[in-house]
C-alpha cells in the first residue's frame, strides 16, 4: 500500500532526475570544458552575445554580494543570470543550418538545429526527395556531447526531449507494427521504448550510453 512518504519520495526523485538531466546537458563526467562552453554557445547562438550576457551577469552578481546578505545574494544572482541568458537567447538566437550529403545518394539534406528555452533541441530535416516507404528506415546518432545525426533515412526530425530521451519522427509513416534494433561498435546498446506509433518513436538510452548508436526500424 502506497504511503504519503512514498509519494513524497517519488516527487523528490523526479525533481532530482530533472535537475540531473538539465545539468548533464552542460557538463557530464568526461566532458571537456571546451565542449561544455560550446554547448552554452550553441544554446545562445552567438559568441558576442554570450560574452555580453556573461559580463552583465558577472556585474550583477558582484553588485548583489555588496548590497544583500550572502544567502539572498546567491538566490538573486542565480535568478538574474538565468533571466539574462534566456533574454539574450530570445533576442539574438538564430537557428544554424547544415547541409549534409548522404553516402551513395545524390541527395542533399538540409538540417536546422533549434534549441528551445526549455532545453529541448531538435534537428529538422526539411526535404528528402526520392525517399519512400520502400527504403529502409534508420538513423545513426552521435550522443557524446549534444545529439547529432550522422546518417538517416525516412526521418524528418530528431528531438532531444531530455538527457538521452530521444524522439524520432518518420518522413513516411512506418508500418503499424515494427521492431526497433539498436547497435554500436562500442558494445551493446540498452534502451527502453517510451512511445511508439506509425509517425514517431521515442526511446530512452540507459547506461552505459554509447557515443555512436544506430537504430533500425524494421516492419514486424
pLDDT tens for each residue of 154-173:
888 888 877 788 899 887 77
Burial code of 111-149, b = ≥16 C-beta within 10 A, e = fewer? bebebeeebebbbebeebeebeeeeebbbbbebebbbbb
User: How does residue 97 score in pLDDT terms, banded at 50, 70 and 90?
Assistant: low
User: How does residue 46 score in pLDDT terms, banded at 50, 70 and 90?
Assistant: confident
What digits encode the pLDDT tens for the residues 187-209?
889 899 999 888 889 999 888 88
Residue 3, φ and ψ in degrees, nearest 5: -120, 170
Boundaries of every domain in the chain = 4-92, 96-219
- Crossing angle of the two packed helices 33-44 and 4-26, in degrees rounded to 10: 90
Are 56 and 48 spatial neighbours (Cβ–Cβ below 8 Å)? Answer: no
Q: Grid coordinates representing 69?
A: 546578505
pTM value is: 0.63
Sheet with 121-125, strands from edge to edge, namely 96-101, 108-115, 121-125, 155-162, 165-170, 200-205, 191-196
Of 190, 125, 143, 107, whose CA–CA distance to 25 is shortest?
A: 143
Share of the chain above pLDDT 90, in %: 9
Q: Grid coordinates representing 208?
A: 552505459
Amino acid at each position: 500500500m502506497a504511503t504519503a512518504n512514498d509519494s513524497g519520495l517519488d516527487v523528490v526523485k523526479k525533481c532530482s532526475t530533472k535537475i540531473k538531466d538539465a545539468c548533464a546537458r552542460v557538463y557530464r563526467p568526461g566532458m571537456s570544458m571546451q565542449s561544455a562552453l560550446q554547448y552554452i554557445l550553441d544554446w545562445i547562438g552567438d559568441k558576442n552575445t554570450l560574452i555580453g550576457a556573461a559580463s552583465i551577469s558577472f556585474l550583477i552578481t558582484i553588485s548583489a554580494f555588496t548590497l544583500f546578505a550572502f544567502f539572498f545574494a546567491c538566490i538573486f544572482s542565480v535568478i538574474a543570470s538565468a533571466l539574462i541568458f534566456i533574454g539574450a537567447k530570445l533576442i539574438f538566437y538564430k537557428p544554424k543550418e547544415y547541409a549534409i550529403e548522404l553516402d551513395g545518394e545524390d541527395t542533399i539534406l538540409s538540417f536546422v538545429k533549434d534549441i528551445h528555452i526549455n532545453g529541448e533541441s531538435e534537428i529538422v530535416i526539411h526535404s528528402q526527395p526520392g525517399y519512400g516507404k520502400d527504403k529502409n528506415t534508420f538513423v545513426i546518432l552521435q550522443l557524446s556531447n549534444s545529439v547529432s545525426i550522422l546518417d538517416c533515412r525516412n526521418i524528418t526530425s530528431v528531438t532531444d526531449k531530455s538527457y538521452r530521451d530521444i524522439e524520432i519522427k518518420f518522413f513516411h509513416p512506418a508500418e503499424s507494427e515494427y521492431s526497433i534494433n539498436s547497435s554500436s561498435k562500442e558494445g551493446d546498446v540498452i534502451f527502453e521504448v517510451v512511445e511508439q506509433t506509425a509517425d514517431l518513436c521515442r526511446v530512452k538510452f540507459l547506461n552505459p550510453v554509447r557515443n555512436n548508436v544506430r537504430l533500425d526500424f524494421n516492419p514486424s
